[in-house]
């Protein structure tokens, strides 16, 4: 039996029928869309839902989230504070409730926002004297450990920097408790692992929050345990979000042996791209730059994979029918990745590969790009997987660390005008996964408090609300080969939609961030209602 939603203001994102007031659903798909009179007359016996004039849009997809980390992060100490002292007090509060010797874990600190700057092991020792403590930075590209945690990890003055990472050090060469990039693994590998069952429960709890925020799909960039948890949830019928699951580059050989391919799976859980890292992040100065940081003239970041290394790994992936998603934030990293993809496109074109169409490769973040490289994503058919909320969160750091290069950063309009497909996300738990915060950032280039005021930070990069919505709908759908089934409200498409409490098409841009779904539907079923 059909189900009809009427008395709505539907923005379909379908160019053939951009607006409507009603739609009909049969099973999990939309079967008709049009006016109230047409749809109600066409389906007289259908169960009806009166939208009471609310705006309806397609369901939103977060094209870059670390689902397991976000879910588990909800259990950690919240370290996103305005001062280091406040962070330490939260650690102390958690330590008072913890058993001696139990790990104290936290996430979200950013030394760039702390007047006191970086902490050191003794700070944490004083506030949690009985426990090992490890706190990840907001960027997820740095960690802060206390003395007990460093002893457990075997970190001493003579410990060498691992490949692709760096130990923060005091002037005398002793470790200062700050770990960058791969050096984080020295401590992280000593932390007792959560069981897959625990990860499953954490994801279930997080899923409920994400549905309330208006997310109907995510592209996940966590590791294999998260994949196992998602498989178990899917098999048991508890997975409600549509998940595209990436494969870490270190698991590429295993994926090839298992004959995994991009697009394998079903509408709820499918294989995405192979994820690799070309560099680090802005905050800890590990993003690989063509020229040094403005405040650190001896530092140009950390390049983890150059063009040749990426090309060699990429050949293995494309031979197996696996697309690539490469993290690149700095302009040097972006250039190296573009060079690798240029060679890979030639390789794909000259080989009889298992896939007939070019694979939909992605660059994750693309936070700053040299003018000479701005058109190359579109030329190479690459997805620009970007996170609008990073711009408003990072603007002060970008101005301080990149100087005039900040004008070339978080350049969504530039990529759109050059012809690249935009796929927007949050990078949660780095930022909130609330998609309306991302939409607000894309449209206004302003923070939630209005900073820096009208017209926004480098306002030439602002998007219209419809352009921004495409970044959370049709863009992610195209990136995963689902552009004919999700991302729009049209006949034959899956019935994934949101009923909103705010008309985001006509409200003040600053109101977009306050928008809440009244109801969330996935595959014709209401998965959350106010």
pLDDT tens digits, one per residue of 400-419: 999 999 999 999 999 999 99
Confidence of residue 352 (pLDDT cuts 50, 70, 90): confident
What CATH number is associated with residue 122? 3.10.310.70
328 and 278 Cβ atoms separated by less than 8 Å: yes
Average pLDDT of 300-318? Answer: 97
CA distances from 472 to 71, 199, 243, 254, 377 (A): 21, 26, 14, 31, 19
Confidence of residue 159 (pLDDT cuts 50, 70, 90): very high
Render the burial of 187-212: b for 16+ CB within 10 Å, e for the rest.
Answer: bbebeeebebeebbebbeebbeebbb
Burial class, 277, CB count within 10 angstroms (exposed 0-12 / middle 13-18 / buried 19+): buried
d(Cα 176, Cα 169) in Å, to the nearest integer?
5
Predicted pLDDT of residue 146:
97
Residue 213 has pLDDT above 80, yes or no: yes
Q: Which H or E run includes 383?
A: strand 383-386
Residue 226, domain member (yes or no) = no
Residue 211, domain member (yes or no) = no
DSSP 428: T
Residue 75, domain member (yes or no) = yes
Residue 73, domain member (yes or no) = yes
d(Cα 334, Cα 289) in Å, to the nearest integer?
9
Prediction pTM value: 0.94
Average pLDDT of 59-63? Answer: 98
Predicted pLDDT of residue 354:
67
Residue 102 has pLDDT above 80, yes or no: yes
Predicted pLDDT of residue 350:
87
CA distances from 21 to 9, 11, 41 (A): 5, 9, 13
Predicted pLDDT of residue 495:
98
Residue 90, domain member (yes or no) = yes
Length of the chain: 530
d(Cα 301, Cα 293) in Å, to the nearest integer?
8
Rg (CA), the chain: 23
Residue 309, domain member (yes or no) = no
> What domain range includes position 90?
68-188
Helix/strand/coil for 448: coil
- State how many domains the chain has: 1
Residue 134, domain member (yes or no) = yes
d(Cα 526, Cα 519) in Å, to the nearest integer?
7
Residue 21 has pLDDT above 80, yes or no: yes
Residue 107, domain member (yes or no) = yes
List the 77-78 sheet strands across, edge first. 77-78, 104-109, 133-137, 142-145, 175-181, 165-169
Helix/strand/coil for 479: helix
d(Cα 52, Cα 518) in Å, to the nearest integer?
11
Q: What is the pLDDT of residues 414-439, one digit of tens each?
A: 999 999 999 999 999 999 999 999 99
Q: What is the pLDDT of residues 447-468, one digit of tens each?
A: 999 999 999 999 999 999 999 9
Residue 1 has pLDDT above 90, yes or no: no
């Amino acid at each position: 039996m059909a189900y009809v939603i009427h008395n709505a203001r539907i923005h379909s994102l379908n160019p053939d029928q951009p607006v409507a007031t009603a739609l009909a659903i049969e099973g999990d798909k939309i079967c008709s869309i049009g006016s109230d009179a047409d749809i109600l007359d066409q389906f007289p016996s259908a169960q009806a839902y009166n939208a009471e004039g609310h705006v309806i849009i397609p369901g939103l997809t977060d094209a870059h989230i670390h689902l397991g980390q976000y879910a588990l992060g909800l259990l950690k100490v919240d370290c996103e504070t305005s001062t280091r002292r406040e962070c330490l007090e939260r650690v102390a509060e958690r330590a008072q409730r913890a058993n001696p010797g139990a790990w104290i874990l936290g996430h979200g600190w950013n030394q760039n926002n702390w007047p006191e700057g970086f902490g050191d092991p003794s700070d944490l020792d004083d506030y949690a004297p009985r426990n090992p403590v490890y706190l990840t930075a907001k960027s997820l590209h740095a960690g802060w450990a206390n003395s007990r945690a460093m002893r457990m990890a075997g970190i001493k003055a003579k410990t060498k920097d691992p490949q692709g990472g760096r130990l923060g050090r005091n002037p005398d060469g002793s470790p200062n408790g700050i770990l960058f990039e791969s050096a984080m693994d020295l401590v992280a590998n000593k932390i007792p692992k959560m069981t897959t069952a625990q990860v499953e429960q954490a994801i279930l709890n997080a899923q409920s929050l994400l549905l309330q925020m208006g997310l109907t799909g995510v592209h996940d960039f966590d590791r294999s345990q998260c994949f196992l948890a998602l498989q178990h949830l899917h098999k048991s019928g508890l997975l409600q979000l549509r998940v595209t699951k990436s494969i870490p580059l270190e698991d590429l050989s295993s994926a090839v042996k298992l004959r995994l391919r991009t697009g394998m799976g079903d509408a709820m859980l499918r294989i995405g791209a192979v994820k690799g890292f070309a560099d680090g992040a802005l905050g800890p100065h590990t993003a690989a730059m063509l020229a040094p940081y403005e405040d650190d003239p001896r530092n140009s970041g950390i390049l983890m994979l150059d063009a040749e290394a990426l090309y060699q790994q990429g050949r293995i992936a494309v031979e197996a029918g696996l697309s690539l998603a490469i993290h690149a934030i700095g302009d040097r990293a972006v250039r190296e990745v573009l060079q690798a993809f240029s060679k890979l496109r030639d390789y794909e074109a000259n080989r009889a590969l298992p896939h007939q169409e070019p694979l939909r490769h992605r660059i994750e973040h693309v936070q700053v790009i040299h003018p000479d490289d701005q058109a190359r994503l579109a030329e190479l058919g690459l997805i620009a997987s970007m996170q609008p909320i990073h711009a408003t969160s990072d603007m002060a750091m970008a101005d301080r660390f990149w100087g005039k290069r900040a004008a070339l950063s978080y350049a969504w309009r530039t990529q759109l005008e050059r012809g690249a497909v935009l796929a927007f996300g949050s990078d949660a738990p780095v930022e909130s996964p609330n998609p309306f915060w991302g939409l607000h950032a894309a449209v206004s280039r302003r923070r939630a408090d209005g900073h820096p005021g009208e017209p926004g930070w480098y306002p030439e990069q602002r998007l219209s609300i419809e352009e921004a919505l495409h970044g959370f709908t049709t863009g992610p759908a195209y990136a995963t080969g689902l552009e004919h089934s999700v991302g729009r409200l049209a006949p034959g498409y899956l019935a994934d939609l949101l009923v909103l409490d705010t008309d985001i098409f006509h409200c003040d841009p600053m109101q977009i961030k306050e928008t809440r779904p009244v109801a969330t539907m996935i595959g014709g079923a209401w998965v959350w209602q106010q």
